[in-house]
Structure 1
Amino acid sequence: MEKLTSFFRFTSRERLAILLLCLLLVLFWTLPLFFPEKPPKISMAPSNASQPNESRSNSYAYGDALPASNAPVPGIATPNHNRYSNEVPTRVAHYFPFDPNTISPKQWQELGVRDKTILTIQHYLQKGGRFRKPEDLRKIWGMKPAEADLLIPYVQFPVPIAEGKKEEPVWKAAPLQDSSKLKPHKNWNLTPIDINLADTEAWMKFPGIGEVLAARIVKFRDKMGGFKSVEQVGKTYGIKDSLFQLMKPFLTLNQGGEKKD
């Protein structure tokens, strides 16, 4: 019994060695927690890497934007893509009811549409194309499905568009009459109008204001929820400052008579 007891007795050096051994075991046991295993690298098959650009482009339907030469292959993670991407950041969108056949490029920008897509829409309308239903936005080259889904609920057509009828968009309407050739406002036989209550017919009574521009003033007013000052009328797209100065004496603002929706 005494021999067995002496077997479990250790000197100070032996106890120190056992303590160091236990510390090393704990260290090796917890080491993987501080250095996680690296994920395996994904290698592409040579046949996919050497595939000609022509065969790749054939897999994209007409109307879809082709990927750039340095664009990542779908399904392959590219950590540096976001850092070196050439894609233009999406602008902040402010949505409002609109007619895609008549709004100006600036209004497309307010809706968050990219400049390249706006240019495509302009070419489409200039060649006689027409939007006949909200879903036609999906047919525009470069219009992403997510963008179209956000815009479609706000599309509004004033009247049914007759098949084959061509209508000039507002932003490409005929130029206004030169306001310098208009008669002085003192010779105009007009009655002052309330800018928040006047309809298109009232605006068309001003020389130089046609049906298109009158409708644009009303849309601009409705978009802002009513004019807060007479000067805001002059900010309507297409109204020259010289024309606005002639109109200004006939424009009134009744603070208590703003048009309600």
Structure 2
Amino acid sequence: MENFKSHFVFNKSQRNGILFLLLLIVGLLVVNHFVDFSEENVFNTNSSEIIAIQKELDSLRTAEIAARKPKKYPFNPNFITDFKGYTLGMSSEEIDRLKRFRDKDQWVNSIKDFQKVTKVSDSLLAEISPFFKFPDWVTNPKPKKKYYKNNGFVEKSFQQKIDLNIATQEQLRKVSGIGEALSKRIITYREKLNGFSNDSQLYNVYGLNPEVVKRALNEFTVKTPKEIVKMNLNEVSASDIATVPGISFELAKKIWEFRTLRVQINDFSELEKIDGMSQRKLKGIQLYLTLD
């Protein structure tokens, strides 16, 4: 009996241990009662609130990226530089094609012309063409006016005309159809040539239509022609021919191939057989080339 009773008698250390264990059990029961451990309180990343916040963050991130990109402004594709072409995504070959075209005093007047000259892809053209800005007189040309001999037009003599090589912008603007832009362009083209050599060169000024040229040549003429050192058509290369104002490299190449096949050109009239050759271009060729 005494041995049996000793099993239910604890010393102080044992009693403290039992008390701590009871307190721990009670504490766990309290926590289990007041804290909900169900899955409903687990953080749900697919909740509508989280998705809405994520969309808002994505939109802010997209707006920030868009704000960092350089803004695109309308521009005239005729004046694309190497750097501008690079930023637009053009290859060096495409940029060079445009530069060669412009070096011949030729101009791109439409999106179709731009692709024809540069040979850019449809995808790149669709991306950059919305920013093309052509002059108003190209996109919205004014109706051409007709002029007749009975409208007071009086042909002037050579002595009465002003020398085209010293004409000022103010004098040029007196001609109907020549405004601020065209008068400045005529002066610029004259400076590029170091002076006109022949009246027909006025037809090469971009934007100057034949009707206006005719009226201008009734007021002006070349009295002090610039001397031209002519090249032999039967000896020059295609690149040399392309230096003639108004002659594109493509046409120059055709002329060179035409001459090569025939060994020699004996008369300028033979060039009339070349596709793309006009009487005006033929006259321009005769100013700069010779058959001797």
- Over alpha carbons, which structure has the higher Rg? 2
With the length of structure 1 as denominator, give the TM-score of the two structures: 0.35
